[in-house]
Amino acid sequence: MNELIINPKFESMLCELSEEESQILEQKLLKEGFRGALTTTMLNGQLTLIDGHNRLKICKRHGIKPKFEEMFFESEEEIEMWILHNQMGQRNLTEMQKSCIRRDYYKANIREGGRPKKKLHMSICSFAPETKGPTTEIVGKKFKVSAATIDKDIKVASGIDKIAEVSVEAKNKILSGKSGVTKQDMMDARKKTNEELEEIAKAIEDDEYETYKKSSIKKATEQIESSICERSKSEPESSWTPPERSNIYKSKLYKSTRLSDNTPEQRALIRQTCEESIARNEEAAAEMEAQYTVDDLIKEIKLECNQITGRIRTIFSMHDNIVSSPECKPKIMTALTETEAAIQQLKGLFI
């Protein structure tokens, strides 16, 4: 028998077993003996293993002689398709692993520009004779999922790839399905900085991802609330009264809950923060109204007048070339007279 070759690329395409799964497989093999056969193929004149890597390691460890069966393929690409297709037949796959396999299947059948390859490995993977249409739809039919699911798989697997760049351990924990990481989290990971990815990976490695996630949601919410408060300070219409502050939260904080960058958990927490802020400000508004005096009224009137005159002065300074123009001065005077007349009308309410 020719020397058996382990192809690193083929081995990396296989779903890695957890420590518990490896122990169960080993105990079963030792108790029941070697069943089935390891699958091989000839590649570039070398006998290459394409399935059974974990069982082979156990056999070597315990001096067990394994059985082999050989398959024949037209190309290395067909071998890769067979491996992916064979992986999807396993019963113990997590949803994350399925997403990665379907994404890899999609990538193997896509050509530049997003169009499907002419031959979608129908002989190996049993596609229906009709293979026209978007690749996501074709691959989706193969795995009995929608094209939208394949689109989501591509994004999820891309996020897992980003995590793998900073920590293989974190990637394996995600694929195991026991890390607490959701598919939405992995889609969000595509937009994270390297520093943020390292924080996520560390939390996953330490089995502290749930704590990290709650902390990051709270931090994101506080940042949004802080930025809104800062913006509201510079907006004249707010004037920092409780009712107006409530309106700022209603109009701007609620808008932020629809930002695509926020996860559903973030949006829910933002809505809660918003509602609590509105409630606090409405309580303060009721208390302020009960203590409101004529002096407070006069103060507000003067404040509004000062803001109006201040804004007009700013307009004049920004367009001094027009203001200084002799032909424009009469029109400006007319506008100011009309403004003065409007104030006189208000005075008429109290005469």
211, 203 Cβ separation under 8 angstroms:
yes
Predicted confidence (pLDDT) per residue in 332-349, tens digit: 889 888 888 888 888 777
Category of 104 on φ-ψ map: left (φ > 0), alpha (ψ -120 to 50) or beta: alpha
Any idea what the Cα angle at residue 64 is, between residues 60 and 68, rounded to 5°? 90
- State residue 290's pLDDT score: 66
Nearest to 50 by CA among 106, 124, 122, 116: 124
Predicted confidence (pLDDT) per residue in 4-45, tens digit: 888 888 887 777 777 777 888 888 888 887 777 888 888 888
Beta strands, E only, 101-173: none
Query: What is the rounded CA–CA span in Å between residue 261 and residue 310?
Result: 38
157, 100 Cβ separation under 8 angstroms:
yes
Beta strands, E only, the chain: 5-6, 38-43, 46-51, 68-71
Whole-model pTM over 0.85: no
Predicted confidence (pLDDT) per residue in 91-131, tens digit: 678 889 889 888 988 887 775 444 555 544 444 444 333 45
